[in-house]
């Protein structure tokens, strides 16, 4: 795997990390796609915990860990990625953060 900014020693804003990993200013030839960077944060992280059977992707029978974001991180200009915010975050199917901007029951 290329040397990226996705480790614990990188910036704490995951969307800034995705931007840096997908641009990789120091080594452009080692840049990840945004999809690869998101997989590194989700499925690869679950695999590192030996928890890929329970989390890391949205599939029947797995924990419902997800975030509704303020913008589409796959299509927004790279420079706007760090501006991304979570509007709603669920862990294990339970809402743990709600910015109260999405109507729901």
For 42-82, the pLDDT digits (tens) are 999 899 999 999 999 989 999 988 999 999 999 999 999 99
Could you count the other beta carbons within 10 Å of the beta carbon of residue 83?
13
Q: Any alpha helices (H) in 1-105, and if so which ranges?
A: 14-23, 34-41, 43-48
CB 21 within 8 A of CB 4: yes
Could you count the other beta carbons within 10 Å of the beta carbon of residue 15?
21
Residue 4: pLDDT band (50, 70, 90) is: very low
CB 62 within 8 A of CB 55: yes
């Amino acid at each position: 795997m290329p040397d990226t900014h996705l480790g614990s020693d990188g910036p704490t804003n995951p969307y800034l990390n995705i931007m840096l990993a997908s641009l990789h200013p120091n080594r452009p030839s080692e840049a990840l796609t945004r999809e690869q960077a998101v997989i590194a944060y989700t499925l690869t992280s679950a695999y590192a915990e030996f928890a890929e059977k329970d989390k890391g992707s949205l599939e029947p029978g797995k924990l419902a860990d997800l975030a509704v974001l303020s913008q589409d991180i796959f299509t927004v200009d790279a420079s706007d990625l760090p501006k991304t915010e979570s509007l709603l975050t669920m862990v294990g199917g339970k809402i743990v953060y709600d910015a109260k901007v999405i109507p729901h029951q």
